[in-house]
Amino acid sequence: MTNILVVADIKQGVLKGSTAELLSKARALGASTATVAVGSNIAGLASQLAAAGSDTQYIVDDPSLEIFSAKPFAEAVVKAAREFNADMVWFGFSESGKAAAPRVAVQLEAACANEITDAAIDGDTVHIVRPAIANKVLQKVKINAPKLVAVVRAGAFEADPEIAGKENVVTLDPPEKDMKAVVRELISDASGEIDLADADIVVSVGRGAKDKAGVDLVKGLAEDLAAGFGSSRAMVDAGFMAHNKQVGQTGKIVAPSLYIAVGISGAIQHLAGMNGSKVILAVNKDPEAPIFNVADFGIVGDLFDVIPLLKEEIKKIRA
Amino acid sequence: MKILTTVKKVVDVELNIHVENGAIVEKGLQYVINAWDENAVEAAVQINESHKAETTLVTLGSGDHTDIIRKCYAMGIDNGIHIDDPALEKADSATFAKVIQKIYEAGDYSLVITGKQAQDTDAGQAGIMLGEFLEIPCVSNVIEIKVIDDTHIQVSRLGDAGTEIVDVTLPAVVTVSDSINEPRLPAMRGIMMAKKKKITVMDLAGLGTSFEEVGGTALKSEVTAFMAQEKRKGGQKFEGDPAEVTAKVVQLLVNEAKVL
Ligand SMILES: Cc1cc2nc3c(=O)[nH]c(=O)nc-3n(C[C@H](O)[C@H](O)[C@H](O)COP(=O)(O)OP(=O)(O)OC[C@H]3O[C@@H](n4cnc5c(N)ncnc54)[C@H](O)[C@@H]3O)c2cc1C
Ligand SMILES: Nc1ncnc2c1ncn2[C@@H]1O[C@H](COP(=O)(O)O)[C@@H](O)[C@H]1O
């Protein structure tokens, strides 16, 4: 029997959907499952973690864990992995997961894989699939080590609503603080906005919007659709959009049912973050823009004409 | 302060990549410096400019690497080491990290700057594992480095909840995001000077190690096949009167794609 430990993805005290997705996949593989939740004031999440599909919940709850710090976070996960005798440790797609996974892998002497999109157990051997080379190819990887630590790519697995685990809470001692890399401050992202990773529709703005007025115009469309509002790197570099709004290889990976790219050329690093979307609509004045090669629907035109019209049409159908 | 930056020679991701029979077709590929490592080099050179540091790059891989080393020299890197060994063709991030550990231990470095990931593996592991192997602090996904004094830096990293400001005691490893800087285009003078500079080349034995010692003969995982990504096809593209075209597309999104 394979033991899979899923690291709970918690953001601002809220359990993200990816945790249930990973647990559903683990159960579908026939594994026994546990979760580890690391943070401050999170003990209350245990029943949600059980409902999400775990049969044991390791809780590492301490005020010192309020702000993310990679070393103690990884140590807490290692502790839970040892307690559970985990064969695999899975992180949801997150910066904390990407920072912790290689540390956990070294400590457990495990193989390490980033952005896996599939996992299969074949007798004693685990095989995974993951993208590489800027998401241009997929790799099939055979795991030789007895253990695997992996970060699962956003949107790779689906949650099965039928699945539920049972509550069995194990409290673990908090790890020590990292005195050599002390997080002195967290400059929080604006709260209250729709998380790109959760949004069913994402509207993203690119350099074509030019300036603040253009960004506000596109943001208006996102608001009308109750969509997440994302960005290409160009608009982040220009200071119009926050870092956490960047979609792409160095930003968020999104797979909404509808992705609307406005004034975005479609560089490979941008495509790597959104080409898993179900339907893509692109608005661009250049008929040759590479974004049209991946868009299901394309409007060739000036966004300053098209976006107001799009807003009007949407108002009509929503009325 | 002595700074070590790691630079990998990788496939150019802007070109098409073809897969045949489970392998990547070599023909037509070009090799360049990993984009994130250019950011690492730029960060090291900037620290040298503001705080006087000695900057050394290390690149691991078999075959000629003079082109990328000279490019880094032209950007302002002082010394270059190339570990040239055919065995490294089979290495993974953990193995490369072990080799970099050897280089680190042979020098007197207080800061290692790596890219956040290599654009061929997209693994994002070597820098963080290096920190673990050396048991020194590592901060990943860094977008700013401020030197405080010879033994302290303050870095900003992009995390899930926002930007984390971290006080780091040196020696340490930092892995950088492309948001940290805009790598400079080398000036003519730099390019000319770079041609004259010495490059230290050695194999694993020359470094006092072997492929076995760095874990290369017992890889924890191995790629068994490459597969082509399912290609998205461009769909319907509309040009013409903006009002008509927009109305048409919204109808399609509602009735055909059923996503509105
Ligand atoms: C290592 C690395 C990592 C990167 N990671 C990311 C990443 O995570 N995310 C990301 O997005 N980028 C990333 N990039 C940058 C990427 O390569 C592109 O530079 C960037 O995506 C371009 O942004 P853009 O499409 O907004 O701008 P541009 O490429 O300048 O495109 C602007 C588009 O707007 C169109 N346009 C102009 N005016 C109008 C108008 N009035 N109406 C309609 N259309 C108009 C133009 O035709 C053009 O197609 C990365 C690059 C590197 C090297
Ligand atoms: N062969 C190599 N030579 C030099 N640096 C490397 C090598 N492999 C990895 N690195 C460094 O480690 C980073 C992360 O690599 P990876 O774990 O493959 O994503 C890269 O951005 C490089 O800075």
Q: Please, which residues have CB within 8 angstroms of residue A162's CB and are 6 or more apart in sequence?
A: none
Kindly give the parts of chain B with pLDDT less than 70. Answer: none
CA separation, residue B115 to residues B2, B40, B89 (Å): 18, 6, 20
DSSP calls for B169-181: ESSEEEEE-GGG-
H-only helix segments in chain A = 18-28, 46-51, 70-84, 95-108, 212-224, 233-237, 268-271, 303-318
Predicted pLDDT of residue A318: 86
Rounded mean pLDDT of chain A? Answer: 96
Predicted ipTM beyond 0.90: yes
A195 pLDDT more than 90? no
A232 at the B interface (CB within 8 A)? no
DSSP class of residue A106 equals H
Q: How far apart are the first and last CA of chain B?
A: 57
pTM of the full structure:
0.97
Query: In this model, does residue A191 exceed pLDDT 90?
Result: no
Residue A228 is inside which H or E element, if any?
A: strand A228-231
* Average pLDDT of the segment spanning A63-87: 97
Taking CB atoms and an 8 Å limit, are A185 and B164 in contact across chains?
yes
Which residue from A247, A269, A309 has its CB within 8 A of the most atoms of ligand 1, so it is best to mutate? A269
**Ligand 2 atom showing the smallest separation from residue B83 Cα:** 3
Hey, is A261 helix, strand or coil? strand
Per-residue confidence band for A193, with pLDDT thresholds at 50, 70 and 90: confident
For the stretch A205-252, pLDDT in tens is 999 999 999 999 999 999 999 999 999 999 999 999 999 999 999 999
Q: Is the CB of B70 under 6 A from ligand 2?
A: no
Residue of chain B with shortest Cα separation from A113: B123
Residue A190, pLDDT above cutoff 80? no
Residues constituting chain B: 260
CB of B210 shorter than 6 A to ligand 2: no
| CB proximity list for B205: less than 8 A, separation 6 or greater | none
Task: Count the neighbouring beta carbons within 10 Å of the beta carbon of residue A104.
Answer: 27
CA distance B168 to A71: 13
- Option in B14, B245, B257 nearest A296 (CB): B257
Digit-coded pLDDT (tens) for A143-153: 999 999 999 99
Mutate to test the interface with B, among A309, A311, A316 (most CBs of B within 10 A): A309
Tokens representing B239? 């040009």
The contacts found for A215-218 with CB under 8 angstroms, 24 or more apart, are A215/A240, A215/A241, A217/A303, A217/A304, A217/A307, A217/A308, A218/A262, A218/A263, A218/A303, A218/A307
Q: Which of B114, B128, B211 to mutate to test the pocket of ligand 2 (most atoms within 8 A of CB)?
A: B114
Q: What is the pLDDT of residues B153-176, one digit of tens each?
A: 999 999 999 999 999 999 999 999
Q: Are the C-beta atoms of residues B221 and A111 closer than 8 Å to each other?
A: yes
Whether A67 contacts chain B with CB within 8 A? yes
**Selection from A248, A273, A133, A141 nearest residue B30 by Cα:** A133
Count contacts between A and B (CB, < 8 Å). 262
For residue A1, what pLDDT band results from cuts at 50, 70 and 90? confident
Confidence of residue A161 (pLDDT cuts 50, 70, 90): very high
Rounded Cα distance between A150 and A137, Å, is 19
First to last CA, chain A: 54
Written as six digits, the tokens of B81 are 């080491």
Residue nearest to atom 21 of ligand 2 (CA): B115
- Which pLDDT score, from 0 to 100, does residue A221 have? 98
pLDDT in tens, A173-184: 999 999 999 999
Looking at residue A194, its pLDDT comes to 86
Ligand 1 pocket by Cβ (under 6 Å): A 206-208, 232-235, 246-251, 263-265, 267, 269-270, 273, 283-286, 289, 302-304; B 35-36, 178
- On the 0-12 / 13-18 / 19+ scale of CB atoms within 10 A, A227 is buried
Residue nearest to atom 1 of ligand 1 (CA): B35
Q: Do B160 and A144 lie within an 8 Å CB cutoff?
A: no
Angle (deg, nearest 10), helices B35-51 and B66-75: 40
Specify the pLDDT at position B113: 99
Pairing of strands B221-228, A137-143: antiparallel
DSSP letter string, B135-201: T--EEEEEEEEEEEETTEEEEEEE-SSEEEEEEEESSEEEEE-GGG--PPPPPHHHHHHHHHS--EE
Task: For the beta carbon of residue A261, count every other beta carbon within 10 angstroms.
Answer: 31
Q: How far apart are CA B75 and CA B46, in angstroms?
A: 10
Partners of residue B160 in chain A, C-beta under 8 Å = 11, 68, 94-96
User: In this structure, what token pair is assigned to residue A1?
Assistant: 């029997």
> Over pLDDT 70: what percentage of chain A?
100
Indicate if the pLDDT at residue A319 is higher than 90.
no
Task: Choose the mutation target among B16, B32, B125, B233 for the interface with A, i.e. most A CBs under 10 Å.
Answer: B125
Per-residue CA distances from A185 to A37, A111, B127 (Å): 22, 33, 23
